[in-house]
Chain A
Amino acid sequence: MASHRSILDLIGDTPLVEVSELSPNPDARIFVKLEGKNPGGSVKDRVALAMVEDAEKAGLLRPGEAGQVLIEPSSGNTGIGLALVCRVKGYHLVVVLPRNVSPERRQLLELWGAEIVESPGSEGSNGAVRLARQLAAEHPEWVFLYQYANPANPRAHYESTGPEIWRDCPEITHFVAGLGTSGTLLGAGRYLKERNPSIEVWAVEPPAGEMVDGLRNLDDGYIPPIFEELGGADLLDRKTVVRPKESIEWVRRLADSGIFVGLSSGAAMAGAARCAAHLAGGRQAVIVVVSPDDGWKYLSTGAWTGDIDEVSERAGSVIYF
C-alpha cells in the first residue's frame, strides 16, 4: 500500500484535464490544472508550505517550539493553506480576513484553529493588507510571511506548478492564470518561458477595483511588491478582466463537463476561452489554465443553481479571488 507520512506531502502534483469541448476555437485545445485537489483545497497550499518552510530554513520559525505566532492577510485561500500547514506543524496563525468573504472560508480557517481578525469589507484585500501590516508592527515577535512580497510565493510555482505543467503538457503554447498576488503567473509563467520563450502568458483578473468601494483615491491602490520586483509587467503578454457574470457562466459550463470548480476558476476559464477565440484561424494552440480551487467553498453563493443575474450581483460584493 502506498501511503504518506504527512498530509503536507500531498501538496502539489495536481492533475491536468482536457476541456477542449468548451473551446470556442477547434484549433485551440484547452487543459485545466485542478489545484482544488490539494489537501487544503487550493493552489495556495503550495505557497503556504513554501513560505513556512522558507521561514523555518531562515530560522524565523523553529519547528517544535511552543508559542510561535504567524500573521497573514488573506481573502481566503492563502489563509486556509497556512491554517492547514500551521495546524500540522504546531504554529498559531492569525489571519486578517476581509469581512465579505464566503462563510465557508471562515469555517475552514476555524476548523484548523486559525484566529480570525476581520478587516472592513469595503476595503477589500487592501484593507486586510493594511491591518496585517499594522498588527505585525505592533507584535514584532510574530512572523509576518506577507505573501505579496515573499519571494517564496512565486518560487513555489517556479519549482512545482511550472515543472508539473511542462512535464504533463510540453506542447503548451499559452499559459493562463488568475492574478491575485501574481505568484502563480510569475513563478510558473517564468519557468515555462524559460523552457520555451514562445509560450504566451495571459493574466486574468476580477474587476476587484470596482467591488472595493472603500478606496479614497487612486493613491490607495496596491500592486504586489513581488510583481514589480520580479518584472511582472515584462513577463505578461496580455491581461484581461473577467466580470462576475462571465465567471459564473463558465463555472456552469465547466460543471456541465463534470468539473466542479470555484468562481476564480470560472474567470480563468473565461480568459482561456478569450485566448482561444483571439488566435488567428488555423494556428494550432494548446492552452493550459490554472483552476485555483474547487466549488465547495462557493455553494452558499448559489453559483450553479440560482438566477444568474442575482448570483452575479451577489458575487460582486463577495471577494472570491
Chain B
Amino acid sequence: MKTLGRIVSFLVYFFLYAPLLVMIVFSFNAGKSTSVFSGFSLRWYGELFSGGGMLIECLRNSLLLAVLSALIATLIGTVAAIGIYRLKKGFVSGAILTVNNIPLMNPDIVTGVSMMLLFVFAAGLFGALNATNFYTLLIAHVTFNIPYVILNVLPKLRQSDPTLYEAALDLGCTPQKAFFKVTMPQITSGILAGLLMAFTLSFDDFVISYYTSGPDFVTLPVYIYSLVKKTVKPNIYALYSIILVAILALLVVYNAILSRSDTKKEGN
C-alpha cells in the first residue's frame, strides 16, 4: 500500500516536472533549437542580461501590470469584502456574491471575449480608433482579480471575532479606529494572500490579456504567444528558468517563515 502510494506520487511529480526539466536543460542549449541539444552554453542567459529586446520590455510590462492591477484589485476587493460582511445575509449580499462568482466560473476565453466586446462597443460609441489599449487591459485584470481578493478576505472577516471590535468600541475607539486597530490586524493575512494571488494571476494571464490588450502594451504571455507561431528560441526558456528559481526561492523562504512561527506556537 505504502510503496504503491510512493510510486503514484513519484509518477505524478515526474509528469508535472518533465516539461520544466526540459525547459531548464534547453535553456543552456548552445543552438537555437528547443528540441535538439547541440552543446552547453550560457548564451541565452547572456543575451537576456545584456538587456534590451522585446522579451525584457514585455517582462517589464507584465510586472507593471501585475503590480498595478493587484494593488487596485486589493483595494476595491477589500472594501467590497468589508461591505459584504457588514450586509445582512439576504438578497443583496447573495446577488453580489453570485456576480462575484461569474469571473471565477466563466472560462477565461468567455471573460476575455465578453470584455473585448464591451470595449469594442464603447469604442464604437465614442469613436475611438483602437478598442483596446493599456487601460482596457488594466481594467480587465482588475476585474478578474477582485473576486480572488474577496475570496481571501471575506473568510478572514467571517472568522474574525466580532467581540474584539465591540471591545475596542467599549474601550473608546470610534468605529473607524476600531476597524483599523482591531479588525485590520485580523484580516491582514487574507489581504496579503489576496494581493499575492492577484499578482501571480495577473502576471501569468494570457487568454484574457490576449483579448483586451492593444498594440501599445504587450505583456509577456501575449508576446510569447505571438512568437510561438513562428519559432521559440531558448531565450524564453532561460527567462522562465530564472523566474522558476526566483519563485522557488520565494516559496522556500515563505515556507521557512511559516514553519518557524508554527514551531513557536507548538512550543508552548
A, B: real partners: no
Residues on A lying within 8 angstroms of B by beta carbon are none
